Chains A and B, each alone.
Chain A
Amino acid sequence: MADPNAKQTGQKSVKIVAGAVVCVESDIRGDVTIGARTVVHPKARIIAEAGPIVIGDGNLIEEQALIINSYPENMLPDAEDVEPKTMSIGINNVFEVGCVSQALKIGDNNVIESKAEVGRNVILTSGCIVGACCAVNTCEVIPENTVIYGSECLRRVQTERPQPQTLQLDFLMKILPNYHHLKKTVKASSTPARS
């Protein structure tokens, strides 16, 4: 729902930088900024309830992915003034099908695999991979190049970060406009600063 308190930040709607491909069927609500070369598939949901979301360049957000900046569970929306925290997402991240991301700070080159869940208090640095169906609800900073995998969320460190999906992004940016209508982009003079 469009947050009526968003007028504090001055931006009420979605701002899509030129070069991003965002399908009309995706559900984007609130104060969201999407960077260049980012592809948002249909049925993806980006919901900025409790604060703005800033998404960087080169991200890939697949179907049924949910990126939500919501209120912490034990607080009512209309309670004492809660400072809206900005959720910032870096560049070259991949949000695979059906994942749920509530992390407030995501760096670069991360991959959140299908049906994974990332909680609000997790901070993903860069090169992290959260494996399929893994739920990470701890309150910590995940070190770089960490892979979380398996039903017990085992961890290991890999030596190199996952490659950016440039080929896939190029392909999608060519093909998606053939089959879907796209949301209008806004010519931005400068990219918004990441908090």
Chain B
Amino acid sequence: MATLLQPEKVLYLVRGEKKIRVPLSQLYFCRYCSELRSLECVSHEVDSHFCPSCLENMPSAEAKLKKNRCANCFDCPCCMHTLSTRATNIPAPLPDDPTKTTMKKAYYLACGFCRWTSRDVGMADKSVASGGWQEPENPHTQRINKLIEYYQQLAQREKLERDRKKLARRRPFMPQAFSEKYGLGTRLQRQRSGAPISALYGLSLKEGEDQKEITIEPAQALDEVEPLPEDYYTRPVNLPEVTTLRQRLLQPDFQPAGASQLHPRHKHLLMKRSLRCRKCEHNLSKPEFNPTSIKFKIQLVAVSYIPEVRIMSIPNLNYAVYLTFYILENITHVSLYTCEEEDPDDINSTAKVLVPSKELVLAGKDAAAEYDELAEPQGFQDDPDVVAFRKSNKIGFFIKVIPQREEGDVTVAFKLRHDFRNLAAPIRPTEEGEATSEAIWLTHHVELSLGPLAT
């Protein structure tokens, strides 16, 4: 359906730190700042972790401990599909009577897509359905853990020193303990877009505890390298046995070169994230906590607040465009303006556009009207030269495009101005008892790409 609507042809300009041009379906609208926000000018926060196949929720601390992998589900090392557990009956001797055999259930992992089974790599069948499968142990784990501990300690020490220096400059009377609480908080760090938040900072400093000095041996460089086997250049390659780069790099611990060493790994967890406007710190998008629910607690998407422009059809030079508006409110007034001559936002357009100069009036979205066959005619007077059709919350109008160049793609830009009633703002109690919300006029810069010129 997204390809039918072709949202990439209509781009809205977002005036954030960088000027980004994005389709409206990918934008959010902060109704407190009354501005469009794109994914790059909001801060992303992790809400919860869950496994995509068993949909099990996992608290963040547990997720960190398990390296963001699910405990129950496995990924096929060959095609990255989810593995399923299958059972077979194998004859096994009874514990009491070794001569008689009885059927016991044995479980193995199998992929439904590429038919990989755990027997292919030599993993024995387990007698329990879940929990029996172990990932192979990385031989370098101990060394890596030791290195991490050493560097954690180093980072804490450096942070202390930095705080000490800063406090020495500002207020020499402040005790050191305050720096931990009022120092560089995570909130301030977040506001700097793109600033990497060091994972080591999140560790708690256990003050007052004697910290052992952790020493590590530096890595030793070897002079002699193991020689290659003699038939390395002459041995024919067994292609089905060689792993692809993708299969190899999905297991960075081992990076096996042979397919018979590809062990299954636990499945990666996915996360639900919430978005927050950087300027006013309000939440723009907050999903439900339950992994099985796709709804949102807070969903301030731009499509619900800003009229959306869609290209309807492209006959020769007259272009039909239509405008849809998805808010459940009442009437909205939309007017369009062409960009002025020296508009700094207008860098991409290769054609001039003539938009209707009158104001267009749009009705709000009425959810009940969809199912009501005898829709009452809305009492709007439309100029047939300007308006092609009108249907509940949609209106179609014509624009004329005059290409400026002889060949290439035709791109036009114009400004869309509409009124926005902010219902989130607290309504001041008026004496008449009437709840009027003030209408703000917002202007957006819209670019349409209409395709190449016919030669």
**Which A residues contact B (CB, under 8 angstroms)?**
129, 131, 146-147, 149-150, 154-160, 162
Q: A156-B78, A156-B259 are in contact. Are A147 and B114 (CB under 8 A)?
A: yes
Interface status of B296 (Cβ within 8 A of chain A): no
Within 8 Å CB of B259, what residues of A? 156
Within 8 Å CB of A155, what residues of B? 240
Within 8 Å CB of B120, what residues of A? 158-159
Contact, CB under 8 Å: A158 / B117: yes
Contact, CB under 8 Å: A160 / B119: yes
In the complex, residue of chain A having the shortest beta-carbon distance to the beta carbon of B113: A149
Considering only residues 380-416 of chain B, those with a C-beta below 8 Å from chain A are: none
Considering only residues 239-256 of chain B, those with a C-beta below 8 Å from chain A are: 240-241
Contact, CB under 8 Å: A129 / B240: no
Within 8 Å CB of B241, what residues of A? 157
Within 8 Å CB of B115, what residues of A? 129, 147, 149, 158, 162
**Which B residues contact A (CB, under 8 angstroms)?**
78-79, 113-117, 119-120, 240-241, 259
CA distance A146 to B241 in the complex (A): 12
Shortest beta-carbon distance from B111 to chain A in Å? 9
Contact, CB under 8 Å: B114 / A149: yes
User: Could you count the A-B residue pairs with CB atoms below 8 Å apart for me: how many are there?
Assistant: 32
In the complex, residue of chain A having the shortest beta-carbon distance to the beta carbon of B115: A147
Option from B79, B113, B117, B240 in Cβ contact (under 8 Å) with A157? B240
CA distance A130 to B91 in the complex (A): 31
CA distance A155 to B114 in the complex (A): 9
Q: What are 24 of the A-B contact pairs (CB < 8 Å)?
A: A131-B113, A146-B240, A147-B114, A147-B115, A149-B79, A149-B113, A150-B79, A150-B113, A150-B114, A154-B114, A156-B78, A156-B116, A156-B240, A157-B240, A157-B241, A158-B115, A158-B116, A158-B117, A158-B120, A159-B117, A159-B119, A159-B120, A160-B117, A160-B119
CA distance A155 to B79 in the complex (A): 11
CA distance A136 to B120 in the complex (A): 24
Shortest beta-carbon distance from A32 to chain B in Å? 30
Across the A-B interface, the 5 shortest Cβ-Cβ residue pairs? A157-B240, A149-B114, A147-B115, A159-B120, A156-B240
Within 8 Å CB of B114, what residues of A? 131, 147, 149-150, 154, 156
CA distance A157 to B116 in the complex (A): 9
Within 8 Å CB of A131, what residues of B? 113-114
CA distance A28 to B39 in the complex (A): 60
In the complex, residue of chain A having the shortest beta-carbon distance to the beta carbon of B88: A163
CA distance A159 to B121 in the complex (A): 9
CA distance A154 to B117 in the complex (A): 17
CA distance A149 to B240 in the complex (A): 13
CA distance A154 to B79 in the complex (A): 10
* Residue among B113, B119, B240 with most chain A CB within 10 A: B240
CA distance A162 to B79 in the complex (A): 18
CA distance A150 to B114 in the complex (A): 8
Shortest beta-carbon distance from A142 to chain B in Å? 12
- In the complex, given contacts A149-B114, A156-B259, A159-B119, what are 11 additional A-B residue pairs having Cβ atoms less than 8 angstroms apart? A131-B114, A147-B114, A147-B115, A149-B79, A149-B115, A150-B113, A150-B114, A154-B114, A155-B240, A157-B240, A158-B116
Shortest beta-carbon distance from A160 to chain B in Å? 7
Within 8 Å CB of B79, what residues of A? 149-150
Within 8 Å CB of B78, what residues of A? 156
Shortest beta-carbon distance from B116 to chain A in Å? 7
Within 8 Å CB of B117, what residues of A? 158-160
Shortest beta-carbon distance from A151 to chain B in Å? 11
Within 8 Å CB of A158, what residues of B? 115-117, 120
CA distance A129 to B113 in the complex (A): 11
Within 8 Å CB of A146, what residues of B? 240
Shortest beta-carbon distance from B272 to chain A in Å? 30
In the complex, residue of chain A having the shortest beta-carbon distance to the beta carbon of B238: A157
Within 8 Å CB of A149, what residues of B? 79, 113-115
CA distance A172 to B117 in the complex (A): 27
CA distance A183 to B114 in the complex (A): 36
Shortest beta-carbon distance from B249 to chain A in Å? 17
Within 8 Å CB of A160, what residues of B? 117, 119
CA distance A160 to B119 in the complex (A): 9
Within 8 Å CB of A147, what residues of B? 114-115
CA distance A156 to B117 in the complex (A): 12
Within 8 Å CB of A150, what residues of B? 79, 113-114
* Residue among B115, B117, B241 with most chain A CB within 10 A: B115
Within 8 Å CB of A159, what residues of B? 117, 119-120
CA distance A129 to B110 in the complex (A): 15
In the complex, residue of chain B having the shortest beta-carbon distance to the beta carbon of A143: B240
Within 8 Å CB of A154, what residues of B? 114
Within 8 Å CB of A162, what residues of B? 115
CA distance A154 to B113 in the complex (A): 12
CA distance A155 to B120 in the complex (A): 15
CA distance A162 to B117 in the complex (A): 11
In the complex, residue of chain B having the shortest beta-carbon distance to the beta carbon of A129: B115
Within 8 Å CB of B240, what residues of A? 146, 155-157
CA distance A150 to B116 in the complex (A): 13
Shortest beta-carbon distance from A41 to chain B in Å? 22
CA distance A3 to B120 in the complex (A): 47
